[in-house]
Amino acid sequence: MISHSKKFVFVHIPKTAGTSITNVLDTHCEVKSANDPSCPFYYHASAIELKNFFDEMKWDWNEYFKFTFVRNPWDRLVSYYEFTKQRYEKLMNDKLLSTDLICKQFGEQVYSFEYFIFNLEKYAPNSDAYYHSVDGNAEMNFVGKIENLQHDFNHVCKTINIPISKLPHLQTTSRKHYSEYYTEITKSIVAERFSQDISMFGYVFSEPTPNKHKKQFFKYRYTEYKNEQKQKHFNAYNARKPNS
């Protein structure tokens, strides 16, 4: 999406809270994102595609604040897989598959998560293709992280001089923790293919964190342990010999 009045360009990498961000920024944009992949401002158009569109329109690319958001690639791919599969089922049930041919193709061809990972070249382009030019130069003025979503979006709002807004949670997907989808082989495939994202933004493959009750329990045990240590030190101090 493009705003001439606020001079910004948002590059929407799939499954990086782009729908939520678009929802907030939409009223400031004269050029809206389109659902047609052949359109120059398709909602998942890359930086180079948008830059080419700017050249055709004789707009000055360098006058605009360009930004995007990234996400842990292991997590993002699981989110993309589950969202697209679930969307395919819904569109099929509603007899609306013809309205989203990319989703239709994905749903008909991708029969497992492992198959998806083995065919990333076809179904999931590298994230850096969205924010780099053909020669590998960075085209973005700012790259936020979905892991710091609201904080980084606040920075965007300040930069483009619009009121800070709380982002809505849109197009969320019900699923397991991403680590449960991977084998050692598929994990390493993602690590190699998205090595630039991983090294540039410090991503690691992590296991699920303890649930709320476990966190509270461990927090309680840690506090209890610290209190026990304090009491031992206090008892030792009081038990010392006079004038020691």
Indicate the domain borders of the chain: 2-201, 209-244
Query: Is residue 64 predicted with pLDDT exceeding 90?
Result: yes
Per residue in 126-171, pLDDT (tens digit) is 676 677 665 566 789 999 999 999 999 999 999 999 999 999 887 6
What is the CATH topology of the domain spanning 2-201? Answer: Rossmann fold (3.40.50)
Q: How far is CA 212 from CA 104, 178, 208, 218, in A?
A: 38, 18, 12, 10
Better-predicted residue by pLDDT, 40 or 115: 115
> Two tokens at 17?
């809270």
Cα distance between residue 197 and residue 175, in whole Å: 23
The secondary element (H helix, E strand) that includes residue 2 is strand 2-3
> Does residue 130 sit in helix, strand or coil?
helix
Per residue in 217-231, pLDDT (tens digit) is 444 455 555 555 545
